[in-house]
């Protein structure tokens, strides 16, 4: 199975980003976390992106706040899918959201909600599941359990 790379621009992003790792671990998806800054460690971020496919990654998740250039910098260095997580570190995260989502044509970054690490992991899982039937089954089983839990709560409030 391909790995998911989780890159954050700063160690301060770890409380948000760790939620993506929890989802990936629960789905038994191998993953690695790294701290690479688009501005403070640009050579290392670029090298990671350029080597990601050869290193066994299938999807990359990049999280950053404020200027939030990390996802775009990673996307510029790879043809793998990149999912951006805008981190709320100022302006309610709107600055990071706009910086993450506004990419030039041909260098896309799929962008989730501000601090939306869980959905970034789910999207990464769905991308990998395109070619992995067992992973697709695990995702389907989660959704079935989630449906059952909601319907059970619905029944409880309507007794």
Whether 65 is in a domain gets the answer: yes
Domain that holds residue 30: 3-132
Q: For the chain, how many structural domains are there in total?
A: 1
**pLDDT of 89-127, one tens digit each?**
999 999 999 999 999 999 999 999 999 999 999 999 999
Whether 138 is in a domain gets the answer: no
Calculate the alpha carbon distances from 106 to 32, 78, 95, 109 in Å.
26, 12, 22, 10
Whether 140 is in a domain gets the answer: no
Whether 38 is in a domain gets the answer: yes
The pLDDT value recorded for residue 86 is 98
Mean pLDDT of the chain: 97
Whether 21 is in a domain gets the answer: yes
The pLDDT value recorded for residue 61 is 98
- pLDDT band, residue 76 (cuts 50/70/90): very high
Cα(110)–Cα(12) distance, integer angstroms? 22
The pLDDT value recorded for residue 145 is 97
**pLDDT of 34-60, one tens digit each?**
999 999 999 999 999 999 999 999 999
The pLDDT value recorded for residue 106 is 97
Whether 63 is in a domain gets the answer: yes
């Amino acid at each position: 199975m391909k790995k998911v790379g989780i890159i954050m621009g700063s160690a301060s992003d770890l409380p948000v980003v760790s939620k993506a790792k929890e989802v990936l671990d629960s789905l038994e998806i191998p993953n690695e976390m790294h701290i690479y800054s688009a501005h403070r460690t640009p050579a290392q971020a670029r090298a990671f992106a350029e080597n990601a496919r050869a290193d066994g990654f299938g999807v990359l998740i990049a999280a950053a706040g404020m200027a939030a250039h990390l996802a775009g910098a990673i996307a510029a260095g790879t043809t793998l899918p990149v999912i951006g997580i805008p981190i709320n570190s100022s302006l309610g995260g709107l600055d990071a959201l706009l910086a993450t989502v506004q990419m030039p044509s041909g260098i896309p970054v799929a962008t989730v909600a501000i601090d939306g690490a869980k959905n970034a992991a789910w999207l990464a899982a769905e991308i990998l599941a395109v070619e992995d039937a067992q992973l697709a089954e695990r995702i389907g089983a989660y959704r079935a359990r989630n449906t059952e839990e909601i319907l059970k709560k619905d029944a409880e409030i309507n007794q």
